[in-house]
Structure 1
Amino acid sequence: RVECWVRVKPTNNFAQGLIDVQDDLKTINIQAAKEADTSETNNQKTSWSFKTDGVLANVNQQLVFETVAKQVLDSLLQGCNGSIFCYGQTGAGKTFTMTGLSEIFDNRGLVPRSISYIFNHVQSDCQRSFNISISYIEIYNEVMYDLLPHSFKNDSRTNKKQFEPLAIKELDDNNFVVKGMNCYPVTCENEALNLLFEGEMNRTISSHKMNRQSSRSHCIFTIYLQSHSLVHSDNRYMMSRLNFVDLAGSERIKKTQSKGKTLEEAGYINKSLLYLEQVITALTESNRGHVPYRQSKLTFFLKDSIGGCCLTRLIANVWGEAKHLFETVSTLRFAMSMMKVREQPTINTYVDPCMQVTLLEQEVTRLKRELALHDALNSSNNNNNKRTTNNYDGLCEKERVNIRQCVKAYVEDHCDDIEIVSATQVKEVFSAFKSIYQESLKATNDAYHSNYILLNAHDPNIVSMLQAVGLLGANAAAATSVTVAAATAATAAKTVAAVVGDKKDDDKNVKQSCKLCGF
């Protein structure tokens, strides 16, 4: 299932007694303040309990990264898609969690830390080559824009009305493509960070009573990874992507006191978040056949990024003050719904068409040689050049064992020939010959060394001692080695030792001992 974490925004006015985080750091109990007694009956719920995957209260950015993002990044590098969402009311710290503060290095958010983590892994991986690309879009008032237009290279600044809207087109295979969206390849961490910072400068922000820099759009920063194996030269590669989704904050007009353009933006934000909740609800219903992805641009773009084959994580940002209590409850309810969504991440493996063509051409060439050899063999066997149906695939283990038995019988003169009908069999026959020869050579050497001792005739000490006892003549230095039977090696050693003590007394005994060896 989707994992959901709650991050509580630090505040000096934390609602003690109303919001209670349990010792397990997973359970949050909320008790609404009781209203003054009235004559009217009020059945509104005033207490809630939420069990999450963890509560991140008063923690730094590094701990948030290690807790939430690291597992998703490891999965991304293995070829699985991933998504990290930040959801919550306006001003609860979603953008700070996602991108952080560029002015303070320790306060950088999930995105810059993830970029650094990915490039550190790519540079240390010696088994795969990686291609990395970046895209950054926003959905503002139900219109999709590219935050990295081509003009960003010229460092130009334009307002949203001058940006070209993007269009989403659904493909026949149930996937989709965003027409006009730029995807920039990057080769180092600095290039990726520059794209992130450029996109941040193009985001739509506004000010209202609750947030001086409120995001007025949903922003999605995507990292694309394509990797090829450097160990196996096949035509397969892995492609994965990771979406960082910074959702615009849900707003209560009464609190934000939005007017004019800001009020219109709030309407679009709340409507798109409502559609997102409907999609989440549909995904949790097992009997639901239709999921309303097409209701908004946001849900359409994220149709394959919520559960399913994608590893998804949600950070529910809450503002732990009493005046924001019901917004906190609403955020946690959404998190509970998200936790019911099932997921089963899968590795995305594809076939490189160019490499596939090359491999097929090589296969055609091999099969032509195979047929030519087959025709030649049949012609020599007077089969009227008639081709038979043969298996040109690789040999199975049973066929290899059978060929080895035939070769062994041929070597031991138990049969006169070996039937060969393909080049694959020829290759296996030669391999069997080589294997049998190496095994026979090893057995011979083992038996030889177990019965004999080899003495180096180029060693002057050994030569002089053997000459002293008469085992070698004057021309023995030209020999490469001398073999002495193991049965008389001990006697010869004693004799050589005796030469040092009293050579004359033992010459006859030594010569008699060595005659037993055939010297």
Structure 2
Amino acid sequence: MVKQTIQIYGRIKPTKKNTTVYSVDNEEQTGAFLEFLVPRDLADGFVNNKRECYKFRFLKVFDQAVEQEEVFENIAKPVADSVLAGYNGTIFAYGQTGSGKTFTITGGAEHYSDRGIIPRTLSYLYERFSQDSSMVYTTHISYLEIYNEMGYDLLDSRHEASRLEDLPKVLIMEDPDQNIHLRNLSLQQSANEEEALNLLFLGDTNRMIAETPMNQASTRSHCIFTMHLCRREPGSATLRRSKLHLVDLAGSDRVSKTGLSGQLLTEAKYINLSLHYLEQVIIALSEKNRSHIPYRNSMLTSVLRDSLGGNCMTTMIATMAVDRRNLDESISTCRFAQRVALIKNEAILNEELDPALLIARLKREIQSLKEELAMLTGEQRDGQLTVEEIQRLEELVKAFLDDPDPDVMLSLGPDMRKIQFCFSLLKMMIMDKQRGGNPNADGKASPTAAEREDSQQSAAEVTKLKEMMTHRDNEISILVKMLKKEKKRAQDAVAQIANTVNGQRTASQDASGLSTMPLLREGSPDSISTGHRGRAIKHMKRVKALSR
């Protein structure tokens, strides 16, 4: 928070005739002094107690020969720097009609050196934007005109084709926090200085200007040129929003002196009334014991609520015409400036979190927590990565390495296959970089996605063949066991038959004779074993066929 009073400066309008009714002293350490000398009028008589000397203090007084560049360097540049830092700023010009307010704020059209505070401030800000590459700046511009206590948008495209009465009015809306919002006032984005200057020229073209006895091109309305600035560091959710009001107030007219009538008289009444309400607000703010500030009396004071006693760093320029006929109005302007200098503002750094970036960050955090939970619960995947998944992971790793943001994350999900693959890919990249390039130390290129796919397919085929061989080995072992069982069964049958034959041979050796020999030859163990051997040979042939 920065607490400071409203900064006041004085500027003297150049005159064609030399005059000795004022003097300027800028050498004082506490500020500059402007002194007016008003000689007594003998027509009032010899006894005349009228004051002759008026002395006012300013931060600095710009005399008639001062150029626009010096005015900008002393007044607008410090306010622009504070706006870049994130504080609100306001510069407004106050003075009599024809005292040089519009020339100071907007500038003249004859020479390039006559540019005012607004175009010079725009040039300075966009130059600073281009120099500071570590920040992202976004600017929007609005241009409000207050004419006869009615607000109009000077950047409305219908301004030239429609009557002023047919244009939509800018309405003041107030939220529960007493913040002012302007309805029907457009915000135009400007990416560079040229677009911003075009918006300024468009608004000046639509502004109400008339010829009066005091000024050939008198502005008949209050105009507020506002630049909304948003500053953010890339990747950060914190941003700073600030606004800069550049206000050109309409000049006060003394009707008895100017002799206005008709529409000009109506305009003068509204101008003087709004300036009167502005002075009431200034007086109320300068008094410490006042609890109520009449901001709502006029639209001008409602819009400038923050600038007057609020969250803003405000600067006022008091413009004065030092002709003898305008001395009273110049002294009145200086008195108003002295009251303004008593007002103290409390400027706060406008820093906040970007809702969009904050939501995106929270979504990433939720996704990360979900992935961590999935890994802790043991939800894993099996199988090999597909070619599409590998290419996608390579793209993610490349984008992760190319992103300059140190807070960027490589989100792979709760899949250890992808995590391990990315680790191996990063390891290969680091090894290639250490070896001085992409080729490996032996001259071979690092494996591509196609080569990795071929190796994966070969590994799958080898695995499949191993499974087939294991299956065949199991079949062969089963057949061998079957053969052993058949062989054992055949041997048991031969032994049983041999025992039976031997018993019969002992009991009836003589009775059998030679007639039993053929039978014994047919049922002999040699013939039985020969039959079983044939079946075993058939089983072996089947095993060989299956193994092929």
For normalisation by structure 1, the TM-score amounts to 0.68
In structure 2, relative to structure 1, the CA distance for the partners of 1:38 and 1:188 (3 Å cut) is closer
1:354 equivalent in alignment to 2:356:
yes
Where in structure 2 are the equivalents of 1:227-376 lying within 5 Å?
227-230=231-234, 233-368=235-370
Secondary structure of 2:108 counterpart: coil
1:221-253 per-residue CA deviation (whole Å, 9 max, x = no partner) reads: 1111111102xx231111111011000001111
Aligned match of 1:36: 42
Decide which moves more: 340-349 or 111-120. Answer: 340-349
Per-residue deviation, 1:69: 0.2
The answer as to whether partners of 2:40 and 2:50 remain within 8 angstroms in 1 is no
Structure 1 unaligned segments of length 5 or more: list them.
377-519
Give the Å deviation of 1:200: 0.5
1:236 partner letter: T
2:23 alignment partner AA: D
Residues matched between the structures, number: 370
1:476-491 alignment to 2 at 5 Å? Answer: none
CA-to-aligned-CA distance 1:75-102 (integer Å, 9 cap, x gap)? 1111111000010000000000111123
2:212 to 208, 216, 223: 208
How far apart, in 2, do the equivalents of 1:353 and 1:214 lie? 45
The 5 Å alignment of 1:386-397 reads: none
Q: Show the counterpart of 2:55.
A: 49
Q: List per-residue Cα deviations over 1:271-321 (Å, max 9, x = no partner).
A: 100100111111122222111100000000110122432111111000011
> Which string of whole-angstrom CA distances, capped at 9 and with x for unpartnered residues, describes residues 434-481 of structure 1?
xxxxxxxxxxxxxxxxxxxxxxxxxxxxxxxxxxxxxxxxxxxxxxxx
Distance 2:158 2:161 in 1: 8
* 1:100 partnered with 2:107: yes
Equivalent pair of 1:91/1:211 in contact (CA under 8 Å)? yes
Q: Distance in 2 between matches of 1:121 and 1:2?
A: 25
Instruction: Tell me the amino acid that sits aligned with residue 351 of structure 2.
Output: T
Please state whether the residue corresponding to 1:343 is helix, strand or coil.
strand
Structure 1 counterpart of 2:9: 5
3-state SS in 1 of match to 2:152: strand
CA distance in 2, matches of 1:141, 1:98: 21
Give the letter for the 2:332 counterpart.
Answer: S
- Specify the alignment match of 1:196 in structure 2: 200
Q: Aligned-pair distance for 1:19?
A: 1.2
1:116 aligns with 2:123: yes
Match of 2:156 in 1: 149
1:67 is aligned to 2:74 = yes
- In structure 2, the residue matched to 1:223 is 227
Contact 1:83 1:306 (C-alpha < 8 Å) held by counterparts: no
Equivalents in 1 of 2:361, 2:286: separation in Å?
44
Change (3 A) 1:194 1:38: closer
How do 1:438-517 residues align onto structure 2 when only pairs under 5 Å count? none
Find the counterpart in structure 2 of residue 161 from structure 1. 165
- Partner of 1:475 in structure 2? none
SS of residue paired to 1:240: strand
Letter in 1 for 2:34: I
CA contact under 8 A between 1:14 and 1:322: conserved in structure 2?
A: no
RMSD value over aligned CA atoms? Answer: 2.0
Query: 1:276 and 1:76, CA in 2 relative to 1: closer, same or farther beyond 3 A?
Result: same
1:492 maps to what in 2?
none
How big is the shift at 1:353?
1.2
CA change 1:183–1:44 in 2 (3 A) is same
Deviates more, 1:120-129 or 1:360-369: 360-369
TM-score, length of structure 2 as denominator length: 0.65
Matches of 2:170 and 2:375, distance apart in 1: 59
The answer to whether the 8 A contact 1:140-1:217 is kept is yes
- State the 1:360 CA deviation: 1.8
Find the aligned partners of 2:287 and 2:109 in 1 and give their Cα distance.
Answer: 41
Alignment-derived partner of residue 88 in structure 1: 95
After TM superposition, list the pairs within 5 Å mapping 1:122-137 onto structure 2. 122-137=129-144
Q: Which amino acid aligns with 2:35?
A: N
- Letter matched to residue 101 of structure 2: K
Distance 2:369 2:53 in 1: 75
Task: Assess if the C-alpha contact under 8 Å between 1:210 and 1:255 holds in 2.
Answer: no
Give secondary structure in 1 for the equivalent of 2:346. coil
C-alpha distance in 1 between matches for 2:166 and 2:108: 28
| 2:181 alignment counterpart | 177
Alpha-carbon distance between aligned partners in 2 of 1:126 and 1:23, rounded to the nearest angstrom:
39
Q: By how many angstroms is 1:363 displaced?
A: 3.0
Q: Distance in 1 between matches of 2:286 and 2:132?
A: 38
